[in-house]
Amino acid sequence: VVLPYLPYFSNCKGFDTYIPIWAVLELYTECTLVSQEETEPVPLLSFGFVPKADKCENVEVECIYDEVPSETLPLSRWFEMEAGSELFYLYADPVNSEDLISGTITSELVPVVLQTQGSTYNLPTHINLEIFYHQIDQSTKRIIEASVYFLEFKELSIPERDGQETVSYKLSINYRALNHRELMNRFIFGVDFYMGINFIVGVTSVVYCVILLIYHRVLTRIKPVPKFKFWTYLAMMTPAPLKGIFYAMTPIVLVLTLVSIFVMGNLFDIPISQEMKSGIFGELTPTYGTEYQGSLEGAKYARVGVGLLMVGSYLILLGSSILIPSEKKQEVEEDHMGNVWHIDKWKRANLVFLTVILIVLAILLLQFSFSEFYGENIWTMIAMLVVLGKVFEYFALVMLKDNLLVSPFAQSIGIIQGLVTFGAGDFVEFVLAYFVEYLMMIMSRLYLDFVVNWITESIENAGKNVKKVVSSVSEVKKLMKSFKRGKKPKEKPFEIEEEIEESSEHLVYEEYEGSASDSESVTLEKIEPTPPQESNTSLELPPEQEVEPLLEAYQNYANDLIVILYSPIFIGIIWNFYDTTQIAANYEIMKEDFDLYFLFSIMILPFQLVMDVFLHNCNEYYNGWAIHDFLDYMNYKFKNRNTSWSGFDYLHDNVIEEKNRTLYRMCFSSQFFFICTIYTSAIMICILGVQAVIINKEYNIFDDKALIPVVLLVLGLCVLFHFLSIKLGKKIGIWGIGSNQAQQVPVFEEEDSEEEEKENRIDQLNELFNEIYNPQPKYQPVPKIPNWNQVEILKAKDEMIKRDLNSDRLTSPEIRQKFLEVNLEWLQDNLESVFTPRTLESQKGLILSKFSKMFGDLEEPSEPTELSQMHSEAPPLEVSDSAKSILKYWVARAKRNRDLQAQIDTVLTKNLKERCILCKSRFGLQCQMIENIEAMFFRFINITQEDSLRKNWNRQKWIAYVDQNAHFRTICLVCLKKCQEFNYHSAQNHKKPKVYFKPQLKETTKQLALSWLNSARKKLKP
């Protein structure tokens, strides 16, 4: 029914029974009418613009209730409606009388929504009607939103309830045009506008990262300054998370889709069929009783919540079994009480228990985020959530003692923080909240992570000290009691003392237990591991040469990356289950507007990846962490793993700190992102399932006839897709081990005999000889050498040594003076071993002047030194003319080879490749010519007919000849050292043949041989 007046509001002063809409908006003095020429509409790109248009402020009309409250009617009256009910509708656009009569109205209807809960005998005495519109142009208005608020209430007396006495109320009307921000928050503009906003947000974020990068690049103290790397970073850090999340989410999304179709009957509000409108279990009543008191639609959504709970529970069990795999041949311990200790089951139970705690806390936080208090204090809430998230991660690490197991919790916390960001008052505040979280993320990655670690270590050490003090006080009290009783105090057992005060030396032994037998692997796998020490009061950055700080730093980034990549998927799940969970509805986000939030999460992804690249470079400039080389090594380690699942690859992980070992095995590969996505999805889907069940208060999960069918159906789908995923993965060959991965470091079960060891060493040397001295033809890659996969990790040590040698703190006079003062006594006792006699004699004056500053005035020796006596007493060395000629020839030959080598430096630089030809390393590279330079030069002389002993041969021709005919190889310093070791060991293998008899020569034969020898010597003399 189309009415030209406001319904429900009747018997008003000045209007009698009806209130025409035009009259209340034009005739009152509280209304300001603006002429068409002076009207200023809202332009599309005028951010913050306030229009100049018609408005009415607090138009008050006195009215009287016509209804009798005590009368009982089948339907609720307008003042008894619940909050959120639609009282009546207004046309958004003006309607002509012709269209109204013909019934061809095309304008949309705008609902007038009741924002306050009504009551029967507690009637409102002040009612506020608000109408907001969009000033499109100077002559066109469009109503956007209309609401009714009950502001003041009055408890009715009995005569007022029975209608014997009238009840009056005041009607206030507000009517105005929305400004640009209000229109943007109500998503009035088109999708193109919001895509532009998302693009501006992304570009602004990237520009800020660029400024931060330039700042750290200019002010960095790291020497040498690391190079800026963009494409290599992007190529190494992008494929693994994309693959892992795709592998994990494909079957999960398919299962959720089928749950939505079978249980809910639609997908994104698109009904599958009319028969399945209520799902396949729609005919089953949600109670075993005679009549269900609640809403059948709500019961259907609660069943969907039960299905989500089943999916999440299945994923929790599956993820816990993958995160904590069962050890083969594991011994099960049994105590004297008969209890069986199975470490894997206890770990999984611990993990599941902490998961339940997180789900409960997330539900409580979600309900709190629906409140107005949260929306009004959104900035404070975001900061508090970040702090609480760090606290939960710390306790999770204390409880689980494994950083890999903490990762899904950190990712779930990040997703929950992003979810409750929807609790912002509007879209603008949502975008501003994104910037706040983004800046806090940058601060955390660059500056605060090591501060948090320092704080936690300080708290742990303080706790240990408190325990020591408490134990000491308790021991003193026991001693005092024993003395008072006259008893001799018992001696404290040595074992108890060890448990109370654990020395740092014991910690060092515990840290490297089991790895001392393989010192080479320890050196290669972890560079100079630092034993645990007491944390000082001063705040220091973690040492860059250790692997653990890089593992933990990149783990924080990987957690943030999963949150960013997973957010669009999670928002899509919430979008599909909009009515089921009511999360977006509680945040006052309309279903038709939710796609814009989904669009924001999608468009921000490429910008976030670019920002991550800049932040990694900033980390290298500021903290000095070689993240690029570390990530390169992790990729190489994953590609050359021993097992298909990297979690079973235990090779060389005993030198890594125990809490980081499983994380180290996963190598931040696609498998790491795969299992983290599975467990994170399990947590988030369980949260959605619990939310869907608890919002339907009348629904009893155990009284539903469809409970068992829903559980069986969902679990069957999970098992089916789990089975199909495994079969398909094996068929395609996902995470298979290639031929290059089969050649790994062997596991030595028993020692070989000396002869077998010698044969194996000779075979290895022969293979190594073919790899080094018989490389593939020019421009063809050489296969990788087994057992050299640890070479990449040595780059950090070499880089650290270079930086230390070039740093000002080692070359400063203060450090040198301090070194001499500390080591004064040692230098006095070991001066002869520090300097050779030749150095003491040649640098006598300099050494005396330096050491006189430390030892005081030094007396000149009265007797000459041993070296000077040796020089003075030694007779002159007599060299024959033939020996002189040979020496001169060798010197000229060496100088010529030196000049030849120097002249082809440009050719060597030109042929220097990006990787070592043997181990594929990028660090410490140099180019070598495979051919002997002297043999190459003789061939050049034969072609050009030049004198080989002249110094003025045609250098340009020589350089061009080498460039065209020589073969080159790029080799790193580590591989070069290996080649030198090969030459040494191969020379040791070629022993001289044993002589089992002494030749017997006749006298005539001896005389003949001597005559030949003398004649040869005479011919050699000039």
Q: Under 8 Å CB-to-CB from 21, ≥6 apart: which residues?
A: 4, 5, 6
Q: What is the DSSP letter of 174?
A: E
Q: Under 8 Å CB-to-CB from 590, ≥6 apart: which residues?
A: 187
Share of the chain above pLDDT 70, in %: 74
Predicted local confidence at residue 893, as pLDDT: 85
Structure tokens, 425: 């008052």
Q: Per-residue pLDDT tens for 102-143?
A: 777 788 899 999 988 888 788 899 999 999 999 999 889 999
Q: Per-residue pLDDT tens for 364-373?
A: 999 998 888 8
Q: Under 8 Å CB-to-CB from 732, ≥6 apart: which residues?
A: none
Lowest mean pLDDT segment, chosen from 79-83, 332-336, 571-575: 332-336
Is the pLDDT confidence value at 741 over 80?
Answer: no
Measured between alpha carbons, how far is residue 492 from residues 27, 489, 497 in Å? 97, 9, 7
Q: Under 8 Å CB-to-CB from 916, ≥6 apart: which residues?
A: 791, 922, 925, 970, 971, 972, 975
d(CA 281, CA 301): 12
Q: Residues 309-329: what's their mean pLDDT?
A: 86
Predicted local confidence at residue 3, as pLDDT: 84
The single residue listed with the structure tokens 């040492």 is 543
Are 410 and 400 a contacting pair, CB within 8 Å? no
Predicted local confidence at residue 517, as pLDDT: 36
Predicted local confidence at residue 525, as pLDDT: 35
Q: Under 8 Å CB-to-CB from 69, ≥6 apart: which residues?
A: 120, 121, 123, 156, 160, 161, 163, 167
Predicted local confidence at residue 127, as pLDDT: 93
Q: Tell me the backbone φ, ψ of residue 972, rounded to 5 degrees.
A: -90, 170
Are 512 and 655 a contacting pair, CB within 8 Å? yes
Of all helices (H) and strands (E), which one includes residue 727? helix 707-732
C-alpha distance across the termini of the chain, in Å: 133
Q: Write down the mean pLDDT value for the chain.
A: 78
Are 362 and 415 a contacting pair, CB within 8 Å? no
Is the pLDDT confidence value at 255 over 50?
Answer: yes
d(CA 646, CA 666): 5
Confidence of residue 524 (pLDDT cuts 50, 70, 90): very low
d(CA 746, CA 787): 9
Confidence of residue 997 (pLDDT cuts 50, 70, 90): very low
Is the pLDDT confidence value at 515 over 70?
Answer: no
Q: Between 945 and 10, where is the model more confident?
A: 10
Q: Between 217 and 335, where is the model more confident?
A: 217
Is the pLDDT confidence value at 894 over 90?
Answer: no
Q: Per-residue pLDDT tens for 484-506?
A: 555 554 444 433 333 333 333 33
The single residue listed with the structure tokens 């899904």 is 408
Are 909 and 927 a contacting pair, CB within 8 Å? yes
Is the pLDDT confidence value at 967 over 80?
Answer: yes
SS3 string of 239-250? HHHHHHHHHHHH
d(CA 555, CA 451): 16
Is the pLDDT confidence value at 720 over 90?
Answer: yes
Annotate 666-676 with b (16+ C-beta within 10 A) or e (fewer): bbbbbbbbbbb
Confidence of residue 303 (pLDDT cuts 50, 70, 90): very high
> For the chain, how many helices (H) and strands (E)?
41, 13
In sign, the C-alpha dihedral spanning 499, 502, 507, 513 is negative
Q: Under 8 Å CB-to-CB from 537, ≥6 apart: which residues?
A: none
| pTM exceeds 0.75 | no
Q: Per-residue pLDDT tens for 357-391?
A: 999 999 999 999 888 888 888 888 888 888 898 88
